């Protein structure tokens, strides 16, 4: 009986000092600070994105053009009934943004996309952008 009391007391003491009764400071994980970076003066930024739902046909495309002050110049959305990959959907969104810029006679642009694979590919001299456009169409 004595051991049982001692074990109960020790268990309660451990719970008090090490268990759920002890309050610890919870430090939230640092979130990355996201910030819009404007293009150089006299340039425009074209932000593009594609959105698709797994198991659903079609893909939504969007393009937003802003000036160096961050003011909205023009935006456009489009829906494509079919698309074979996320990569092609993101490329189609970039094409949408570039076509929008051309229609608005905006030639000094910086293209921004969350798909770094395509951005990197477009920066390579070996790729011909016209071939990408034809593939996407």
User: Does any domain span residue 22?
Assistant: no
Mean pLDDT for the chain overall: 80
User: What pLDDT is recorded for position 17?
Assistant: 61
Q: Which contacts qualify for 83-87: CB closer than 8 Å, 24 or more apart?
A: 83/50, 83/52, 83/58, 83/59, 86/50, 86/52, 86/115, 87/115, 87/117, 87/118
User: In this structure, what CATH number is given to the domain that contains residue 73?
Assistant: 3.30.420.10
User: Is residue 90 assigned to a domain?
Assistant: yes
Looking at per-residue confidence, does 3 or 118 come out higher? 118
Is residue 110 helix, strand or coil?
strand
Identify the CA nearest to 132 among candidates 119, 120, 122: 122
Considering the domain boundaries, does residue 129 fall inside one?
yes
Q: Which residue segment(s) compose the domain that 98 sits in?
A: 38-134
* Residue 4 maps to a domain: no
Number of domains into which the chain is organized:
1
In a domain, 104, yes or no: yes
The pLDDT, as a whole number, for residue 137 is 54
pLDDT tens column, 8-27: 666 666 666 666 555 566 67
Q: Given a cut of 90, is residue 62 above it in pLDDT?
A: yes
């Amino acid at each position: 009986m004595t051991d049982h009391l001692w074990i109960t007391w020790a268990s309660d003491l451990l719970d008090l000092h090490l268990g759920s009764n002890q309050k610890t400071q919870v430090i939230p994980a640092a979130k990355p600070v996201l910030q819009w970076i404007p293009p150089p003066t006299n340039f425009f930024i074209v932000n593009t994105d594609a959105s698709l739902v797994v198991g659903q046909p079609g893909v939504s495309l969007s393009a937003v053009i802003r000036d160096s002050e961050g003011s909205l110049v023009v935006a456009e959305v489009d829906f494509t009934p079919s698309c074979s990959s996320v990569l092609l959907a993101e490329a189609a969104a970039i094409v949408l943004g570039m076509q929008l810029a051309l229609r608005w006679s905006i030639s000094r642009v910086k293209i921004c996309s969350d798909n770094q694979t395509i951005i990197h590919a477009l920066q390579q001299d070996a790729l011909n952008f016209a071939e990408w456009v034809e593939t996407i169409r």
